[in-house]
């Protein structure tokens, strides 16, 4: 266990203000084998703070990245929609910036090669940096050059000393996973070529707050970013954001484009100013705005439990679809266990046969749904709702309905 501190990981200010308090929860990706169910299971505070100086929303570091990520259960390639997103991104980057066989594409937290495979197919040299050894091995088996290291100044300096610099440096859903935020951003500056481009994707705090997405809070997400705050962080380390896009992925994400502040070849896009103005209008520059979220979280928990209790009183059977980290936050915070949900299913063989942390709900192959014919199929990765509903449309044959709980309770 890491000795947690209550100092802002960006500016060092003491953290005194609660953004959301979700009680105590196990690590969201610490799935259990059957023989572990009778053992002690560690729970850690899921108490999120907001810095009153820089407005970075953050969790103290209770567990080291090595504990969380060294043997990781999430493989990106099991989501069809995420693969399409990756392929579309590849084509967009090549079209916009002209990357070719002379370019160097580097992805931080490259997972199982889900993205770099598309650049490789185009004949563009790639390198993945993936800390989870089991996931890095899956990428290597696919033929994606991958090193298994944590990224920061040390790794960036090592690669730079070997003459490896990036024309395009990619980080999809990794910025939130970094406890040493300043070291990470410094490392990107070291690895980036003088005229290189950084793109980073991460969930947008504005969407999290607007749509009650408290389940995207879990221990491996150390930070939660507004555009205002991420711009400050990059600027502090000599990097300038010159463009930004709002994306639908993960319930609403940002894709930022950055380069060295000294690189004058990339004029700032109007979207940067527009989004800053949008966040300012929503009061993201005031502490009071952040402090309003905890009350909304308590209210949605009460609504969820009221619905679940009534459904069980009516004799309805409920199964889950998916075993995502966000689902584990939701279930543990609301106290939903096998008294409400009989089981869940997941397409990833790396999760089948295991049990959800904390709630001990068993995880099966999706074929289990056809065997038990539940009245409700609760979609835990609600950001993939459309994909899952298309895959499981046949539950309507026995009158089954889809259930989502975030951003609000909905039956489809």
Angle at 250 between CA 122 and CA 214, to 5 degrees: 160
Same domain, 324 and 305: yes
Q: Same domain, yes or no, for 261 and 311?
A: no
The verdict on residue 180 lying in a domain is yes
Contact between 265 and 238 under an 8 Å Cβ cutoff? The reply is no
217 within a domain of the structure (yes/no): yes
Q: How far apart are CA 110 and CA 381, in angstroms?
A: 21
Task: Clarify whether residues 91 and 220 are in a common domain.
Answer: yes
DSSP 183-201: HHHHHHHHHEEEEEEEEEE
Q: Could you say which of 283, 310, 330 is where a domain stops?
A: 283
Q: What angle do CA 280, 196, 9 make, to 5 degrees?
A: 50
The CATH number assigned to the domain holding 191 equals 3.40.50.150
| Ranges of the chain with pLDDT below 50 | 1-3
350 inside domain: yes
Residues 248 and 367 in one domain: no
| Domain total in the chain | 2
The secondary structure of 65-78 as a DSSP string is HHHHHSS----GGG
SS3 state of residue 241:
strand
Nearest to 325 by CA among 381, 363, 405: 381
| Contact criterion met (CB below 8 Å) for 239 and 66 | no
Is residue 237 domain-shared with residue 111, that is, in the same domain? yes
The answer on 389 and 307 residing in a single domain is yes
Which residue's structure tokens are 């096998």?
338
Domain residues for the domain of 238 are: 76-283
User: What value does the mean pLDDT of the chain take?
Assistant: 94
Question: Which CATH number does the domain housing residue 299 bear?
Answer: 3.40.50.720
The pLDDT, as a whole number, for residue 65 is 60
256 and 327 belong to one structural domain: no
Residues 211 and 351 grouped into a single domain: no
pLDDT confidence of residue 78? 60
C-beta neighbour count of 197 within 10 angstroms = 23
345 and 247, same domain (yes or no):
no
Tell me, what's the pLDDT at 75? 60
Count of all residues that appear for the chain in the document: 412
DSSP string, 269-281: PHHHHHHHHHHHH
Neighbours of 5 (CB within 10 A): 12
The answer to the question of residue 42 being in a domain is no
Distance CA 322, CA 25 (A): 19
Rounded alpha-carbon distances, angstroms, from residue 145 to 60, 125, 141, 159, 404: 33, 9, 9, 14, 39
Domain boundary among 258, 283, 308: 283
Q: Is residue 192 part of a domain?
A: yes
pLDDT at position 82:
84
State the pLDDT at residue 369.
98
Assess whether 299 and 392 both reside in one domain.
Answer: yes
Q: In sequence order, what are the residues at sequence separation of 6 or more whose Cβ sits closer than 8 angstroms to the Cβ of residue 123?
A: 100, 101
186 and 250 in a single domain? The answer is: yes
Closest CA to 120 of 147, 86, 97: 86
Residue 304 to residue 352: CA distance in whole angstroms: 26
> In the sheet where 344-345 sits, what is the strand order?
363-364, 344-345, 318-321, 376-379, 401-404, 410-411
Q: Supply the pLDDT for residue 1.
A: 47
On whether both 250 and 331 belong to a single domain, the answer is: no
**Considering the domain boundaries, does residue 266 fall inside one?**
yes
Q: Could you give the C-alpha distances from 82 to 34, 88, 172, in angstroms and in order?
A: 30, 10, 11
Indicate whether 236 belongs to any domain. yes
* β-pairing verdict for 253-260 and 239-247: antiparallel
Considering 236, 263, 283, which residue would you say is the last residue of a domain?
283
Is 231 within the bounds of a domain?
yes
Alpha helices in 98-175 (DSSP H): 116-121, 133-141, 153-161
């Amino acid at each position: 266990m890491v000795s947690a501190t209550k100092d802002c990981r960006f500016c060092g200010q003491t953290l005194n203000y609660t953004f959301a308090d979700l009680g105590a929860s196990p690590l969201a990706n610490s799935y259990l084998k059957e023989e572990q169910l009778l053992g002690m299971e560690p729970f850690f505070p899921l108490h999120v703070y907001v810095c009153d100086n820089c407005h970075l929303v953050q969790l103290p570091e209770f567990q080291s990245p090595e504990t969380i990520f060294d043997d990781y259960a999430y493989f990106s390639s099991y989501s069809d929609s995420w693969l399409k997103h990756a392929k579309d991104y590849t084509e967009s980057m090549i079209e916009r910036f002209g990357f070719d066989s002379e370019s160097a594409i580097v992805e931080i937290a490259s997972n199982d090669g889900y993205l770099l495979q598309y650049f490789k197919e185009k004949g563009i040299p790639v390198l993945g940096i993936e800390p989870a050894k089991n996931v890095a091995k899956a990428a290597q088996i696919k033929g994606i050059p991958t090193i298994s290291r944590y990224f920061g100044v040390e790794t960036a300096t090592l690669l730079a000393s070997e003459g490896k610099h990036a024309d395009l440096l990619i980080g999809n859903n990794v910025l939130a996973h970094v406890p040493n935020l300043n070291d990470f951003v410094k490392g990107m500056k070291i690895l980036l070529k003088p005229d290189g481009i950084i793109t980073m994707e991460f969930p947008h705090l504005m969407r999290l707050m607007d749509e009650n997405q408290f389940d995207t809070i879990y221990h491996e997400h150390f930070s939660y970013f507004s555009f205002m705050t991420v711009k400050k962080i990059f600027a502090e380390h000599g990097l300038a954001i010159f463009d930004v896009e709002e994306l639908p992925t993960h319930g609403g994400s940002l894709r930022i484009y950055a380069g060295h502040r000294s690189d004058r070849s990339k004029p700032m896009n109007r979207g940067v100013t527009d989004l800053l103005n949008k966040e300012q209008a929503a009061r993201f520059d005031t502490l009071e705005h952040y402090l309003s979220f905890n009350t909304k979280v308590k209210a949605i928990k009460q609504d969820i439990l009221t619905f679940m209790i009534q459904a069980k009183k009516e004799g309805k059977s409920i199964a889950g679809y998916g075993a995502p980290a966000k689902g584990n936050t939701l279930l543990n915070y609301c106290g939903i266990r096998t008294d409400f949900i009989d089981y869940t299913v997941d397409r990833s063989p790396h999760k089948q046969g295991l049990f959800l942390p904390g709630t001990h709900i068993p995880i099966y192959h999706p074929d289990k749904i056809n065997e038990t014919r539940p009245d409700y199929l609760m979609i835990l990765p609600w950001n993939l709702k459309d994909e899952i509903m298309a895959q499981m449309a046949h539950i309507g044959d026995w009158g089954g309905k889809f259930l989502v709980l975030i951003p609000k309770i909905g039956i489809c």
